[in-house]
Structure 1
Amino acid sequence: MTEKIEEQAATTNSYYNRELSWLQFNARVLQEAEDETTPLIERLRFLGIFSNNLDEFFKVRYATVKRIAEAGKGGRSFLGGIAAKELLEEITQTVIEHQKTSLRILSDIEAKLQDENIYIIDEHEVSKEQSIFISEYFIRKVSPALVTIMIGELEKFPTLKDSAAYLAVKMKMNKDDEIFEDKNNYALIEIPRSVERFVVLPQVGEKQYIIILDDLIRHCLHNIFSIFKYDAISAHMIKITRDAELDIDSDLSRSFIEKISKSVKNRSVGDPVRFVYDKSIDKETLRYLMDKMGVDDTDSIIPGGRYHNRRDYMKFPSLGRTDLQYKKIKPLPIKGLSLQGSLFHKIAEKDYLLYAPYQTFSYVVKFLREAALDPKVKTIKITIYRLAEVSHIASSLINAAKNGKVVTVQIELQARFDEAANIRYAEQMQSEGVRLIFGVAGLKVHCKACMVERLENDKIKRYAFISTGNFNESTAAIYTDYTLFTANQKIGKEINKVFDFFEVNYKIKKYRHLIVSPHYTRNAIYALIENEIKNHKAGRSSGIRLKLNSLSDFKMIDKLYEASRAGVKIQMIIRGICCLIPGVEGMSENIEVISIIDKFLEHPRLYIFENAGNQKMYISSADFMGRNLDSRVEISCPIYDKDIKAEINDTFDICWSDNVKARQITASQDNSYRRNRKVQVRSQFKTYDYYQEKIK
C-alpha cells in the first residue's frame, strides 16, 4: 500500500501528502535511534522523541483527517491527491511498520546496554533482594499515587485520560470468591505520571539495574488486589490518544484566559483517535475493552509492545555514564560582545547575531536584565510563544515592571500543548503589573520579537532582538536558532508597528523592511522568487537557498516549481514536512532538498535570494505552510550587516556540505543518507568548530 501511494504521489501529483511526509520525518528520528554511532543512552532518548512526536501527530494531524473523513468529504485537493479514508488507512499501516521497527531497535539497544553492565529487568527477573527493595518502594512511593478502577463493577466505562498509560488487569476468579458474579473481573491501573518511569535498583558489583514502573506495578499486583480471591491475574498495557483540537466557547462574560483554560481541560475528554494495546493481550480482554470504550473503524488501532508512552525514554536516567551520552558542549560567546558590560552600548555600534546552542542564550536574558535595571529604559515590548518551565525571561519582565518600566507582553495562549503553562505565566505577570495583550482574534501570534525604548539625549532610541525560535532557555540548549540584536531604528520602528497592530488590528500597517504575516509574507516571497526568475532569464546571477522546518503550502510549492522550470537553482534544508517533490524532470529538476537530524533540533527559518549578486537575506519565524503565510502573525527580518550575512552564508554552506547526518529528500521518500567521497562533514559539530575559530 505504501509503495502504491508513494508512486502515485510521485507520478500523477505535484505534491507529496503532508501527513505521510511528516511520518517520513519521524522515520528519520527513528534512524537516529538505530544509528550505532549514536551514543547508547541517546539512542533510547531518540526512541522517546519518536514516540512523543507520534502522540502529538495523532492528537492533531490524524484527528484533522478523521474529521474530514467523518464529514463525508474526500479531501483530495486539501490532502495532496489522497482521499481522507485512504489516508487514514495508509497512516495506520505506516505507523504499524514504524512501531515494529522501533521495537526491534529497542531490543537491540537493550542487548547492547547489557554489554555495558546495564540491565533493564522485568517483574520475572527480580532477585529476592531486589524484591524487598521494590516492595518498600511500592508502598512508599507508588501505592499512594495509584488510581485503580474496578471496571467490571461499573455501569458506565470511565473516560480514559488522553495519552495516559493504563494496565488493563484481568482476574480469573476463584470458585470460592463471593464478591463477584462473573468468572472474570477487570480493573484498570493508571500509570502515575508523578513517579519516575524508570526506577533505578541498587547496584550489584559493576552491574546496574533498572525496572520500568509498569513492571514494578506488575510485580506488586498481589499487593493491590489482595482482598480478592483469584486463580490467575494478568496485566497488559493500553493507551488512548484523543483529538487535541481546542473548542473555545463564545461566552462574552468570560475572559480569554478563562476560555482557553476551560478548553484545555476539555481536551482530556476529546474524541479518541488512536487505541494502542499490548499485542499479547488475550482476545477476550481486548474485545471487552474495545466494546466498552466505543473504539470504531475510523480510529487508528495499533497493536504495540509491552510498554506504551515510550516518550518517557527521553528522560532515561544517565546512570553517571557520560560515555554513553553526547559530550556536552560549552556554549560560546559572541565575538566582540561581552556579557560583562552593557549590551546596549555595543548593539548601538553594530548588529550582532546569536546562533544558539553553539553560542550562549545568556545574551537574551542579559539584554532583558539590563533593560529591567537601566533607568533610561522606559518601555519593553515582547512576544511570547513558549516559555521555559522556570523562565528567566518572565522573571526579567516582572523585574522591569517592578522598576516602573511599561512592560507589554503579547502572550500566545493557544501555543499548542503549552496552553496551561502560558496561562500560568500570564496570570503571574498580570498580577505583577505586566501589561498583557492577546493578539488578534483568529490569528496565532507566532513571531519572536522584543523591542526596548531607551531615552538617550532626550530622544527615544529603540533596541531590539528578533529570533527564529522561542525565548526559552530550555529549548535554546537543544534547538538551533538565530537571534539578531540590532539598534537599527527603522527595524525598531516597524517592530513597534506590529505591536500597534495587535491592539488596533483594523488598521493594516505598511512595512519597508520587515515582512509580516498575515498580510504580506506570501506576496513578498512570490516577488522575491519572481525576481530570481527574471535575473536568471537576463543572464544575471540567481539562486534561492532556504532553511525551513516545513514546506507544505501548495501555491508556494508551485512558485518554486516555476522557478525551477525557469532554470533557477534552489537548495533547501528542510527538517520536517516537505510536500514538494524535488528532482522531477520538467517540474523540479533544479531543486535539491536535504534534511538534517542530529544531536540538536534544526529550527531556524532562513531565506536567501541571490538577487544578481546583492543578496537579500531574512531570518524568520515563518515556515512555508499555509498557516504561517496567511493565518498567523509572523516576522521575517532582513539581514543588512555584511559580516552577519557572510556568517549566515558560512553556516548554511556547512549544513549543505553535511555528508554524515543529511538525508536526501527525493520522490521515493526513502530517507537515504547523502553520502559522497569528500571529507566527512557532520554539520552541527563543524558549526561549533566554526564559532570556536571565530573567537580565537
Structure 2
Amino acid sequence: MPHAPAPGESCAPELFLSRELAALEFNFRVLAMARDPQVPLLERLRYLSIVANNLDEFFEVRVAMLKHHHYYGSASPGPDGIPSGELLARIRARVLDLVAEQYATWQDDLSPRLEAEGICILPRSRWSKRQHAWLRGYFEHEVLPVLSPLGLDPAHPFPRILNKTLNIAVVLKGRDAFGHEGHMALVRAPRSLPRIIRVPAEVSGPGEHFVFLAELLHAFVDLMFPGFKVLGSHQFRVTRNSELMVEEAEVDNLARALTEELVGRGYARPVRLQIGTDCPKAITRMLIENFDLDEADVYRCDGPVNIIRAGLIYDWLDRPELKFPRFTPRIPASMEASRNKFEVIAQRDVLLHHPYESFAAVIDLLRQATQDPNVLAIKQTLYRAGEDTPLVDLLVDAARNGKDVTVVIELRARFDEEANIRLATRLQEAGVQVVYGVVGFKTHAKMMLIVRREGAGLRRYVHLSTGNYHQANSKLYTDIGLMTANEEIGEDLHKIFQQLSGLGPTISLKRLLHSPFTLYKSVVAKIERETANAKAGRSARIVAKLNALNESHVIEALYRASQAGVEIDLIVRGACTLRPGLAGISERIRVRSIVGRFLEHSRVYWFANDGEPEIYCASADWMERNLMRRIEVAFPILDPELAARVYDETLANTLADNTQAWLLGSNGRYARATPGDAPAHNAQQTLLDKLCASTAK
C-alpha cells in the first residue's frame, strides 16, 4: 500500500490522478447538465455547446502539447507516472465515450424535445418543397458567391485548412472544361458565412426552423460543380495546436511578437480530425495523410461536426420559459445609498459576491475615481476584460482627466491575446501607461488601486477579486470581490504594482500572499500548521474552494494532514489529481465539484488555526502554474462578519449541496450527490433566493 511521504519525499505515482483525464471528467459533469430534464431546455442546449467548446480547447492545448512532447521524445510523465503514449491512448478512449454521449444527447434527446417546443433543426431529408426552394435561393444568392470550391489535382494540391472551420470533401465523376478528369474537391466554408440559417416563418409556418450550414452545402453541392456527377460529400473539421510559442526572453517587443505569432496560429500542427459517421475509408485515409495524422486522431460525429454552433440558437431565441429565470443582482445597500463610494469603503470593507451581487458597484467606484479631483492615480490589472467593458472607457476618461493611470495587461491570456493587444493599443493612445507584465510570469492577479488625497495625506482604496474585470463573466461566474481602505493591504498592493511596473526587487508584504514568492510557501505552511495542531490534539480543519488542484507538493502536504487527523473538505470545480478516500492516506479528505447554472470560479482557502480561523480569497488555484509561474494574490477577509459570510456562502453552503454536487471517488470518477431523506439543497439557488431579486421562480 503506498504511503503519504514525509516532508521532502515524493508520493508514489499511484496516489495521483492524471491531470488530463481529470479535466475530461469535468466535461462529463457538464454534459450531465445537458441531459438533465430538470434543467430548462435551451440551457441544456447551451451546456451541450459548452462541452464541444471545452473539447476544442482541450485538444488545442492539453492534447496538442502532450502530442508535441511525445513526438519529439521530450515527454516526461507527470506525478501520476503515466507514459505519454499510454496517456494519449487513455485520453482517446475517454473522449470516444464523451463524444458518443454528446451526440446521443443531441440526436435522441435534445433535438426531439426542441421540436416538441416548436424549435426545429431540420436535416435536409425533412425539408418541405417550400423550404427546399427558399433554401436553394438562399444558397444561390448568399452562400455560393462566397465559396471557392477547389478541385484536387497536381496543379491544385491539398490546401491549408484553417483551425476549427467547416469543410466538405466532395467525390466527383466527370471532366472539367479543360478535359481533366475530376475525382475529388474540397469546399471550405469561410468564417463570414453563418453556421446556422434561420428559415423565415413565412416559409416554414409556426415555430422556429433552423438549418446547419453543413446541411445546406451537402444539399446543393451539385450547384458548385456543374457538369460533374457528385458521388458523395462528407463534412470534416480539423483542430490544431493553439498554444503560442513566443520565447519572451528572446523578443524586444512582446506585443509585436505575439501579433506575428497569432497570424500563424490557425495553421499550426493538426491534432484532431472530426468527420461524419458516413465518411468512407478512402476519404478518411486521404484526410489523415494530408493532415499528417493517425487513425487515433480521428473522431466520428453522428451529427454536425461543428455542433458547438448549436449554442447560437440559445442566443437568438427569446423563450424565457425555456431558460433559467431572470434575476436582478443586488447592489450592497451601503454602496447604493451613498453617492460617495470612498466614504463607504473608508468606514468599512465592502464584500461583493458575484453574480448574486452586481459588478456595477466596481464600475461605480471607478467612475467616481475618474471624476474626483482628489484622486491622483489609478492602477489596475486586466487579464480578460472583454472588448465592450465600460471599465476601459473609464480608464481612458481618467487619463484624459489628468489622473496617473497605469494598467497591467496580460497579453498572453489564452485565446484573448488579440483582444488584449487591441485593448493595450487603445489605452496607450489615450495616455495610459500600459505594462505587459513580467517576462516568464503571467499576471493573473485581479486588483485595482486608487490613490486619493484626503486632508494632508494620501489614502489608498483597493479592489481585489477572485475573478476577472469582465462584466459579462460577472453575470455567469461566481466570484468574491473585496473593497477596502485597509492601510496594510493598500501598502502591500502599492508594492506589488511598483514591482510589476518597475521590475523591482523582492518585496515584503504584511497582509497579502503573493505568487510566485510567498503564496505557495504560505499555503503549505498553513496546511502543516493544521497537521501539527491535529497531532497535538488541537482543533484542525481545512476547507478550500478551487477551480483545479494538481500541485504535487500541496497534495502531499494534504495527505500528511489527513494521516495526522485533519478533516479536509475540497470543493474543486474542475480537474483534481488528488485521490480522496484512500485508507491510511486520504480517508479524511473529501472532494466535491459543483456544476450548475453558474460557473464556480471563486477561490477560497479556510484554515481552522486552533479556533482562530483564517480565510483568504484568491486569484490562484492550487496548481503548479498558479503557485510557481504566475503573478497571483490571495487576500485575507479581516472583517469578522464578512469572513463569516464568505465561509457560509462559499464553503458551508456548497458543502451542503445535495442536488448539483458531484463526489470524487479514489478511482477518479464522480458520482452525483442525491438528497436521500434530507431536504434538497441547491447552493446556487439558495444564494439567488437570499441575495437577488428574481423576476420568476
Question: What range describes the TM-score normalised by the shorter chain of this pair?
Answer: over 0.9
Q: Report matched runs for 1:19-58 at 5 Å.
A: 19-58=20-59
1:335 aligned to 2:336?
no
1:666 aligned to 2:634?
no
Corresponding residue for residue 315 of structure 1 = 312
1:199 aligned to 2:198?
yes
Displacement of 1:370 in angstroms is 0.9
Q: 2:300 aligns with which of 299, 303, 313?
A: 303
> Per the alignment, do residues 201 and 210 of structure 1 end up closer, same or farther by CA in structure 2, a change over 3 Å counting?
farther
Q: Report matched runs for 1:616-655 at 5 Å.
A: 616-651=614-649, 652-655=651-654
Give the secondary-structure state (helix, strand or coil) at the position aligned to 1:359.
coil
CA contact (8 A) 1:381 1:408 kept: yes
Displacement of 1:408 in angstroms is 0.1
Alpha-carbon separation, structure 2, partners of 1:584 and 1:625: 22
Deviations 1:80-120 (A, max 9, x none): 12100011111111111110110100011111112222221
Alpha-carbon separation, structure 2, partners of 1:693 and 1:158: 54
Give the secondary-structure state (helix, strand or coil) at the position aligned to 2:60.
helix
Corresponding residue for residue 656 of structure 2 = 657
Alpha-carbon separation, structure 1, partners of 2:474 and 2:630: 23
CA contact (8 A) 1:380 1:453 kept: yes
CA contact (8 A) 1:130 1:201 kept: no
Amino acid in structure 1 at the alignment position of 2:69: I
Corresponding residue for residue 366 of structure 1 = 364
> Per the alignment, do residues 128 and 15 of structure 1 end up closer, same or farther by CA in structure 2, a change over 3 Å counting?
same
1:466 aligned to 2:464?
yes
Displacement of 1:153 in angstroms is 5.6
CA contact (8 A) 1:491 1:513 kept: yes
1:90 aligned to 2:90?
yes
Amino acid in structure 1 at the alignment position of 2:81: G
Corresponding residue for residue 353 of structure 1 = 351
Alpha-carbon separation, structure 1, partners of 2:265 and 2:452: 43
CA RMSD of aligned residues (A): 2.1
Alpha-carbon separation, structure 2, partners of 1:330 and 1:400: 29
> Per the alignment, do residues 666 and 161 of structure 1 end up closer, same or farther by CA in structure 2, a change over 3 Å counting?
same
CA contact (8 A) 1:73 1:84 kept: no
Amino acid in structure 2 at the alignment position of 1:58: F
Q: Report matched runs for 1:580-599 at 5 Å.
A: 580-599=578-597
CA contact (8 A) 1:478 1:601 kept: yes
1:71 aligned to 2:72?
yes
> Per the alignment, do residues 366 and 152 of structure 1 end up closer, same or farther by CA in structure 2, a change over 3 Å counting?
farther
CA contact (8 A) 1:169 1:189 kept: no
Corresponding residue for residue 687 of structure 2 = 687
Displacement of 1:224 in angstroms is 2.6
Corresponding residue for residue 5 of structure 1 = none
CA contact (8 A) 1:198 1:316 kept: no
Q: 2:526 aligns with which of 525, 528, 531?
A: 528
Query: Does 635-644 or 234-243 show the bigger shift?
Result: 234-243
Alpha-carbon separation, structure 1, partners of 2:624 and 2:618: 15
Give the secondary-structure state (helix, strand or coil) at the position aligned to 2:335.
coil
Deviations 1:35-85 (A, max 9, x none): 111111111111110000010011111112112211325622x25121000
CA contact (8 A) 2:376 2:453 kept: yes
Alpha-carbon separation, structure 1, partners of 2:603 and 2:13: 30
Displacement of 1:519 in angstroms is 1.0
> Per the alignment, do residues 484 and 140 of structure 1 end up closer, same or farther by CA in structure 2, a change over 3 Å counting?
farther
Amino acid in structure 2 at the alignment position of 1:682: N
Alpha-carbon separation, structure 2, partners of 1:390 and 1:339: 27
Alpha-carbon separation, structure 2, partners of 1:153 and 1:206: 51
CA contact (8 A) 2:176 2:182 kept: no
Corresponding residue for residue 188 of structure 2 = 189
Displacement of 1:566 in angstroms is 0.5
Q: 2:513 aligns with which of 502, 512, 515?
A: 515
Displacement of 1:393 in angstroms is 1.0
Give the secondary-structure state (helix, strand or coil) at the position aligned to 1:291.
helix
Alpha-carbon separation, structure 2, partners of 1:253 and 1:61: 25
Alpha-carbon separation, structure 2, partners of 1:339 and 1:269: 54
Alpha-carbon separation, structure 1, partners of 2:89 and 2:660: 31
Give the secondary-structure state (helix, strand or coil) at the position aligned to 1:240.
strand
Alpha-carbon separation, structure 2, partners of 1:348 and 1:506: 29
Give the secondary-structure state (helix, strand or coil) at the position aligned to 2:57.
helix
Alpha-carbon separation, structure 1, partners of 2:50 and 2:517: 35
Q: Give the gaps of 5 or more residues in structure 2.
A: 1-10
Displacement of 1:315 in angstroms is 2.3
Displacement of 1:151 in angstroms is 3.2
CA contact (8 A) 2:168 2:235 kept: yes
Alpha-carbon separation, structure 2, partners of 1:201 and 1:667: 53
Deviations 1:11-35 (A, max 9, x none): 9601000000000011111111111
Corresponding residue for residue 160 of structure 2 = 159
Deviations 1:129-153 (A, max 9, x none): 2223323333444345434333346
Give the TM-score taking structure 2 as reference length: 0.94
Amino acid in structure 2 at the alignment position of 1:284: A
CA contact (8 A) 2:222 2:230 kept: no
Query: Does 468-477 or 128-137 show the bigger shift?
Result: 128-137
CA contact (8 A) 1:412 1:438 kept: yes
Amino acid in structure 2 at the alignment position of 1:460: L
Amino acid in structure 1 at the alignment position of 2:103: L
Deviations 1:480-511 (A, max 9, x none): 11110111111011111111111333500111
> Per the alignment, do residues 74 and 262 of structure 1 end up closer, same or farther by CA in structure 2, a change over 3 Å counting?
closer
Give the secondary-structure state (helix, strand or coil) at the position aligned to 1:157.
coil
Deviations 1:552-601 (A, max 9, x none): 11111001111101000011111000000001111100001110111110
Deviations 1:395-425 (A, max 9, x none): 1101101101010000000000000000010
Corresponding residue for residue 578 of structure 1 = 576
Corresponding residue for residue 400 of structure 1 = 398
Give percent identity, aligned residues only.
33
1:409 aligned to 2:407?
yes
Displacement of 1:177 in angstroms is 5.0
Amino acid in structure 1 at the alignment position of 2:341: L
CA contact (8 A) 2:442 2:629 kept: yes
Alpha-carbon separation, structure 1, partners of 2:630 and 2:317: 43
1:219 aligned to 2:219?
yes
Alpha-carbon separation, structure 2, partners of 1:339 and 1:122: 55
